[in-house]
Amino acid sequence: MQVASSKKSKMADTEMANGAGSHVAIDEDLHSRQLAVYGRESMTRMAASSILISGLSGLGVEVAKNAILAGVKSITLHDTRATTLRDLGSQFYLHPEDVGQNRAEACREAVQELNTSVPVSTATGPLDEDLLAQHQVVVLVDAPLREALRVDAFCHARDIAFVRAGVRGVFASVFCDFGRGFTVLDTDGEDPHSGIVASVTPGPVTLVSAVEDERLEFEEGEYVVFSEVVGMDELNALPPVKVLRCRAHEMELELDSSGFKAYERGGIVVQHKMSKTLDFDTLEQSLQSPGEFLMSDFSKLDRSAQLHAGFRALDAFEAAQGRLPALGSASDAAELVRLARELVPSSAEGGPEFELDVAVVEALARTAQASLSPMAAMLGGVVGQEVVKAATRKFHPLHQWFYFDCMECLPEEPVSEAEAARATKEAGRYADQQAVFGAALQRRLQELNVFVVGAGALGCELLKNLALMGVAVDEAGLVTVTDDDTIERSNLSRQFLFRDWDIGSAKSAVAAAAATVINRSLKIRALQNRVSPDSEAVFDDAFWRRCDVVLNALDNVPARLYVDARCVYYGRPLLESGTLGPKVNTQAVVPRMTENYGASRDPPEKQAPMCTLHSFPHNISHCLTYARSEFEGQLERT
């Protein structure tokens, strides 16, 4: 076993015997946004967790990137494979001069630059038990089944969280095993619901009414606690009470209050977040009895079961042949279908009640060897979140299988085995993409004119993917990115194209330069103009007509609406996306086919009437809104 270590961590910690830190100093300037989402306790637990990532393909480096930016204790990058030119199609920290070098060693320094407070080491030998035992979370990427079964059995017996993930063309799979008795401290991460008590009706089932202008948001089965109740003060001392039913302004509680004192006035009721304990099966057990799958697309209700069969057949094929099915191979696809039918018994034999979808399994076989950067980016985000959940015990983890596919992206006529073979020999870093989608699409990508609006967290991810895909690498192509903001320290934990020495520089310029490091053939232009009516001399008619597609990476609704209006006017496709804490939205707008972004609006935020604010304020938001109103009035008068 060869292990190389990076510089010592700057994060002070005192370890207990179980590996959790009793004290960890959190860099609040760097992780201010994460602290708001995860909380200090969760960040402290994460900063005491060591992560092992085995397999530094495109998916593996995405997981490493997300984990180190989150602020874990340490990361070990493990790989036994050497870099090939095809790796450059999805692995953004590998370059042509790295071909022949070990993938983990070739990208370690770049991963380390993302967060110098998290030591990064490499391992290039077999995964032995001594190495596994040093970590709290182990992630295997594209690992053969036999190796995954061995590692999972070891981790399960020692309460080490285990994740197996793989990208196979336009298909993806994730399996999680966090052991027996894994406790989730907060299943959704949301702020607790609360309400103002207006009355309490005692009885075998207690009826609690709230003030009329406050809608109760509790759900059946949740637990609540009381405070500041006058009269029926027994409520204030009760442990959490279960909600039986909840309506707009009243709820029934599983509480016999017949002997309580009479309610007089006041009181606040707040949701009590209950922990949840989960038992995970081992990989070996779960392969046979997978339970419920996490759905990714409700228009494909049986797709997860189909892909479970397909991926099991893929494992069997790899074990028998020592390789994955060849790209575009009809004979290998037929063999995978045969294996899938053998592994999945019919419903008459007690198997799942579905017929094997041959088209799905054949598509899996034809594309399984390909590592596509958009798929790696998407699944890397999913797996990165599972790593964070295992380390922090916040948010409900994946329990236990997740499958994803985008078969609808495949060409109607599959790429032939001969064309796929030519792509792997001649297309270089774009070989996998061309072997899946064909040479015509690859040529079209290379000639595109793309407008990226915003170079923050989403903008960095978009530019990285465009560079990996070979967008705008021909003379006819161009990526234009604009952002009028400069880099701050708090950006560095999310906007991975930026480094400490970039603070104060223009985001668009630094992001464009970093994208050309990923792909030196990328044609990119960086601007610092805000897209608005004031900049129509820059983004004029000729500019919009040259754009083939617009990618929004904005952080405010007015700017999104303006760009959307421009795209509607000029008939340009728009890919819209945004994030809010752990939530995300995305929308593809195709002219004359889909509705545009501005066609629908979010409901207005709840606002209290001014008469309530001035005469009967009864919660903190009322007081703050009243103060803001008074301040604005004073400002106008002066």
CATH number at residue 559: 3.40.50.720
Bridge-based pairing of strands 276-278 and 182-184 is antiparallel
Q: Which residue has the tokens 């604005």?
A: 632
Coil, helix or strand at residue 121: strand
Token pair of 445, please? 């990508």
| pLDDT value of position 359 | 96
Q: State mean pLDDT over 178-198.
A: 93
- Catalytic residue status for 567: no
For the chain, what percent of residues have pLDDT higher than 90? Answer: 81
* Tens-place pLDDT, residues 155-187: 999 999 999 999 999 999 999 999 999 999 999
Angle at 290 between CA 67 and CA 161, to 5 degrees: 30
* Tens-place pLDDT, residues 111-138: 999 999 999 999 999 999 999 999 999 9
User: Which among 349, 380, 402 is the end of a domain?
Assistant: 402
Tell me: pLDDT of 598 over 80.
yes
CA distance 253 to 206: 5
* Tens-place pLDDT, residues 427-454: 899 999 999 999 999 999 999 999 999 9
* Tens-place pLDDT, residues 18-61: 444 446 678 887 888 888 888 889 999 999 999 999 999 999 99
CB 47 within 8 A of CB 15: no
- As a whole number, the mean pLDDT across the chain is 91
Tell me: pLDDT of 203 over 60.
yes
| pLDDT value of position 501 | 95
| pLDDT value of position 294 | 94
For the chain, give the number of residues.
638
User: Which among 272, 304, 336 is the end of a domain?
Assistant: 272
Is the domain of 582 the same as that of 520? yes
List the domain range (segments joined by +) for residue 74.
3-22+40-185+280-402
CA distance 192 to 354: 41
Residue 27 included in any domain: no
3-class SS string, 365-429: HHHCCCCCHHHHHHHHHHHHHHHHHHHHCECCCCCCEEEEECHHHCCCCCCCHHHHHHHHHHCHH
Got the DSSP string for 179-190? -TTEEESBSS-P
Is the domain of 53 the same as that of 98? yes
Is the domain of 503 the same as that of 577? yes
* Tens-place pLDDT, residues 489-532: 999 999 999 999 999 999 999 999 999 999 999 999 999 999 99
Is the domain of 56 the same as that of 85? yes
Coil, helix or strand at residue 559: helix
| pLDDT value of position 173 | 98
Is the domain of 462 the same as that of 533? yes
Q: How far from the centroid of its chain's Cα atoms is residue 606's Cα? A: 29
Token pair of 541, please? 């008619």
At 145, is the pLDDT very low, low, confident or very high (cuts 50, 70, 90)?
very high
- Say how many C-beta atoms besides its own lie within 10 A of residue 215's C-beta: 12
Is the domain of 233 the same as that of 302? no
Which residues, 6+ apart, have CB-to-CB distance to 384 below 8 Å? 62, 63, 65, 66, 67, 70
Closest CA to 186 of 268, 272, 279, 245: 272
Residue 442 included in any domain: no
CA distance 245 to 57: 50
Could you say which DSSP state residue 10 is in?
-
Is the domain of 305 the same as that of 393? yes
Closest CA to 196 of 228, 219, 243: 228
Q: Which residue has the tokens 């989730």?
A: 184
CA distance 576 to 317: 39
* Tens-place pLDDT, residues 270-289: 999 999 999 999 999 999 89
CA distances from 172 to 276, 304, 307, 369, 378 (A): 28, 10, 9, 12, 10
Type of residue numbered 181: G
Q: State mean pLDDT over 309-334.
A: 96
Tell me: pLDDT of 79 over 90.
yes
Residue 91 included in any domain: yes
CA distance 88 to 96: 8
Is the domain of 346 the same as that of 462? no
Token pair of 285, please? 């057990």
Is the domain of 9 the same as that of 150? yes
Q: Of the listed 246, 460, 547, 611, which one is catalytic?
A: 611
416 burial class (0-12, 13-18, 19+ CB within 10 angstroms)?
A: middle
Record the pTM: 0.89
Q: What are phi and psi of 346, to 5 degrees?
A: -70, 165
| pLDDT value of position 4 | 58
Residue 425 included in any domain: no
Residue 321 included in any domain: yes
| pLDDT value of position 23 | 60
* Tens-place pLDDT, residues 81-105: 999 999 999 999 999 999 999 999 9
User: Which among 402, 434, 461 is the end of a domain?
Assistant: 402
Q: How many domains, the chain?
A: 4
- Half-sphere exposure (CA, 13 Å, Cβ side) for 117? 23
CA distance 238 to 387: 36
Is the domain of 108 the same as that of 230? no
CA distance 161 to 475: 48
CA distance 513 to 500: 15
Is there a cis peptide before residue 400, judged by omega within 30 degrees of 0? Answer: yes
CATH number at residue 208: 2.40.30.180
Residue 414 included in any domain: no
Is the domain of 80 the same as that of 214? no
Closest CA to 524 of 461, 483, 478: 478
CA distance 96 to 562: 41
At 632, is the pLDDT very low, low, confident or very high (cuts 50, 70, 90)?
confident
| pLDDT value of position 39 | 87
Beta partners for 184?
A: 276
Type of residue numbered 211: V
Is the domain of 251 the same as that of 376? no
At 629, is the pLDDT very low, low, confident or very high (cuts 50, 70, 90)?
confident
CA distance 167 to 521: 26
Which residues, 6+ apart, have CB-to-CB distance to 336 below 8 Å? 310, 313, 314, 317, 325, 361, 362, 364, 365
Residue 433 included in any domain: no
Residue 327 included in any domain: yes
Tell me: pLDDT of 608 over 90.
no
